[in-house]
């Protein structure tokens, strides 16, 4: 059934989605030609945005500590969507983990049924990541947000708009955040290995892969790891490819950036510069703690603020960030507009809030340590001499990210990327662990691709 649903959604991207009625107007542009529904349904893969939504759009969850006791007890007074709650609108969330494509499968099934669904069961908003956003953007299951009233994107970062725009130039959604990714290094180890922990000086010593590899050798000689995971640098390379995973003729190929990463990972494992731990594995997380030996991690604001728990618990302030060998980004959450929503006014208001409401965007930085998709707000914090991150020893991370964001590229992306990126790492690490040969690892990857996407042509043996 899962394969059938995936196949049917793929067909929807190539032909008119009859269930949603291409000849009909699924959501009137003005929002006042039909009555808004009383149930607003959102699909997401985790609760991160749900929390921001409830705090700053609906104003239903506390977001500030008013008396300094460590308990959030103050509410966002100017929540733009509070009036919908007062008018009796219910906001329902369907949260499905993204592991192994579970979220996409559940979302695909819901969108496939959109045309026949009762008004209170229609998907009104859904979230997507960079690895698969094009699957939905270049499809009849999403609609033009400018027609809904989301017209001012002047403050957003261009790549976030490009990612949500189809091949005909129609924009189908917005991102509430910008996700430039930085090299996150441990200050104490940097001092021992590099003789400095100053971000500008560290950047000069790590601004190319040649320098990065040389420092890895030096770090290993002192008993340190350069990175905590064989896949730690993967996103840097995959964001800088010159060709897609799958071309227009459905042929799969390895870009030179990917093969360069594979060579680096093999070398780093062989020389003891890194570990065979995955990006989210416990062994990697242990390297963030007080006894960790890893010099370099890579990630955006959401990563070091929300995914480096041991570092916050045991090594607070012993970190800093710089660009590293290459500019890149990791992740991001796009809000996409499904065709057939019976709540077009609410949908547009949500999108406008998270890209243009400066008070909301400021709260996301000040209270939630986000890097927003509003350049004016980000630049305000970047220029504030009193703003800094406790985790980064007082460094102004917004200032760093504001510069990195200028160099982000959204290129050579395909609808297959999540599966390709995750699948390659899954099968390649088996070779790094010595359980299979390199050829066996590659063939296992090709078999996986064939199972996920029978129409994709893998290289002949």
Task: Using the predicted structure, report yes or no on whether residue 232 has a pLDDT greater than 90.
Answer: yes
* Cβ 237 vs Cβ 261: under 8 Å: yes
Cα angle value 110/114/117 (rounded, 5°)? 100
Contacting residues for 127 by C-beta, under 8 A, at least 6 apart: 42, 43, 44, 45, 49, 333, 334, 335, 336
Both tokens assigned to 132: 């698969």
Longest dimension (CA), the chain: 70
Alpha-carbon distance 411 to 426, whole Å?
Answer: 24
Q: Where are the alpha helices (DSSP H) in 271-357?
A: 282-286, 301-306, 309-314, 344-356
In tens, the pLDDT along 247-303 reads: 999 999 999 999 999 999 999 999 999 999 999 999 999 999 999 999 999 999 999
Contacting residues for 370 by C-beta, under 8 A, at least 6 apart: 52, 177, 301, 302, 364
Alpha-carbon distance 350 to 373, whole Å?
Answer: 14
Contacting residues for 50 by C-beta, under 8 A, at least 6 apart: 42, 44, 93, 95
Contacting residues for 316 by C-beta, under 8 A, at least 6 apart: 390, 391
Task: Using the predicted structure, report yes or no on whether residue 31 has a pLDDT greater than 60.
Answer: no
Task: Using the predicted structure, report yes or no on whether residue 225 has a pLDDT greater than 90.
Answer: yes
Residue 461's pLDDT band (cuts 50, 70, 90)? low
pLDDT value at residue 20: 36
Alpha-carbon distance 347 to 339, whole Å?
Answer: 11
- Rounded average pLDDT over 127-136: 95
Both tokens assigned to 158: 């261009």
Mean predicted lDDT score pLDDT of the chain: 92
Task: Using the predicted structure, report yes or no on whether residue 87 has a pLDDT greater than 60.
Answer: yes
Q: Give phi and psi for 453, each to the nearest 5.
A: -135, 85
pLDDT value at residue 16: 36
Alpha-carbon distance 115 to 329, whole Å?
Answer: 35
Residue 99's pLDDT band (cuts 50, 70, 90)? confident
- Residue 223 has a CB neighbour count (10 Å cut-off) of 10
Alpha-carbon distance 67 to 61, whole Å?
Answer: 17
pLDDT value at residue 4: 42
Work out the burial of residue 295: count CB atoms within 10 Å of its CB; fewer than 13 is exposed, 13-18 middle, 19 or more buried. Answer: buried
Residue 133's pLDDT band (cuts 50, 70, 90)? very high
Residue 100's pLDDT band (cuts 50, 70, 90)? confident
Q: How many helices (H) and strands (E) are present in the chain, helices listed first?
A: 20, 9
State the DSSP string of 212-281: HHHHHHHHHHTT-BS-SSTTTTHHHHHTT-SS-SB-TTSBB---HHHHHHHHHHHHHHHTTSS-S--TT-
- Report how far apart, in Å, the C-alpha atoms of 87 and of each of 27, 39, 81, 407 are: 21, 11, 10, 44
Work out the burial of residue 250: count CB atoms within 10 Å of its CB; fewer than 13 is exposed, 13-18 middle, 19 or more buried. Answer: exposed
Residue 163's pLDDT band (cuts 50, 70, 90)? very high
Give percent of the chain above pLDDT 90.
89
Residue 19's pLDDT band (cuts 50, 70, 90)? very low
Strand 296-299 and strand 39-44: pairing?
unpaired
pLDDT value at residue 10: 47
- Rounded average pLDDT over 431-460: 97
Of the candidates 333, 300, 356, 292, the residue with the CA atom closest to the CA atom of residue 152: 356
Residue 34's pLDDT band (cuts 50, 70, 90)? low
pLDDT value at residue 124: 98
Residue 42 Rama label (left phi>0; alpha psi -120 to 50; beta): beta
In tens, the pLDDT along 323-362 reads: 999 999 998 999 999 999 999 999 999 999 999 999 999 9
* Cβ 456 vs Cβ 250: under 8 Å: yes
Q: Where are the alpha helices (DSSP H) in 13-97?
A: 48-52, 82-86
pLDDT value at residue 2: 43
Alpha-carbon distance 180 to 399, whole Å?
Answer: 12
pLDDT value at residue 305: 92
Alpha-carbon distance 105 to 325, whole Å?
Answer: 36
pLDDT value at residue 154: 97
State the DSSP string of 197-226: --HHHHHHHSSSHHHHHHHHHHHHHTT-BS
Residue 409's pLDDT band (cuts 50, 70, 90)? confident
């Amino acid at each position: 059934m899962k394969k059938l649903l995936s196949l049917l959604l793929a067909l929807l991207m190539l032909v008119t989605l009859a269930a949603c009625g291409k000849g009909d107007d699924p959501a009137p542009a003005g929002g006042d030609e039909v009555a808004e529904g009383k149930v607003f349904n959102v699909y997401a893969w985790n609760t991160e945005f749900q929390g921001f939504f409830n705090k700053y759009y609906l104003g239903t969850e506390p977001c500030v500590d008013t008396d300094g006791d460590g308990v959030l007890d103050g509410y966002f007074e100017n929540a733009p969507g509070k009036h919908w709650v007062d008018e009796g609108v219910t906001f329902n969330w369907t949260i499905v983990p993204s592991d192994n494509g579970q979220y996409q499968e559940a979302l695909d099934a819901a969108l496939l049924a959109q045309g026949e669904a009762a008004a209170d069961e229609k998907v009104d908003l859904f979230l997507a990541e960079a690895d698969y956003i094009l699957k939905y953007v270049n499809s009849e299951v999403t609609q033009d947000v400018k027609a809904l009233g989301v017209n001012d994107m002047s403050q957003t970062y261009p790549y976030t708009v490009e990612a949500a725009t189809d091949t005909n130039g129609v924009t189908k959604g917005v991102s509430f955040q910008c996700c430039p990714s930085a090299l996150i290094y441990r200050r104490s180890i940097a001092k021992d290995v590099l003789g400095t922990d100053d971000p500008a000086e560290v950047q000069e010593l790590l601004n190319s892969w040649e320098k990065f590899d040389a420092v890895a050798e030096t770090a290993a000689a002192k008993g340190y790891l350069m990175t905590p995971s064989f896949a730690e640098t993967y996103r840097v390379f995959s964001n800088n490819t010159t060709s897609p995973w799958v071309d227009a003729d459905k042929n799969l190929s390895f870009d030179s950036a990917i093969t360069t990463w594979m060579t680096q990972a093999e070398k780093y494992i062989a020389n003891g510069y890194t570990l065979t731990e995955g990006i989210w594995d416990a062994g990697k997380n242990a390297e963030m703690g007080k006894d960790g030996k890893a010099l370099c991690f890579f990630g955006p604001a959401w990563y070091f603020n929300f995914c480096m728990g041991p570092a916050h618990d045991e090594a607070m302030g012993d970190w800093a960030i710089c660009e590293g060998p290459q500019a890149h980004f990791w992740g991001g959450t796009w809000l996409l507009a499904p065709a057939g929503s019976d709540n077009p006014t609410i949908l547009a208001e949500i999108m406008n809030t998270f890209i243009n409401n400066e008070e909301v965007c400021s709260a996301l930085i000040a209270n939630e340590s986000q890097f927003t998709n509003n350049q004016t707000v980000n630049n305000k914090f970047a220029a504030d001499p009193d703003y800094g991150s406790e985790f980064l020893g007082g460094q102004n991370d917004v200032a760093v990210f504001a510069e990195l964001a200028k160099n982000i590229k959204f290129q050579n992306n395909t609808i297959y990327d999540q599966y390709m990126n995750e699948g390659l790492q899954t099968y390649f690490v088996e070779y790094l662990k010595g359980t299979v040969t390199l050829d066996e690892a590659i063939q296992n990857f090709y078999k996986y691709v064939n199972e996920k996407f029978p129409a994709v042509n893998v290289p002949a043996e």
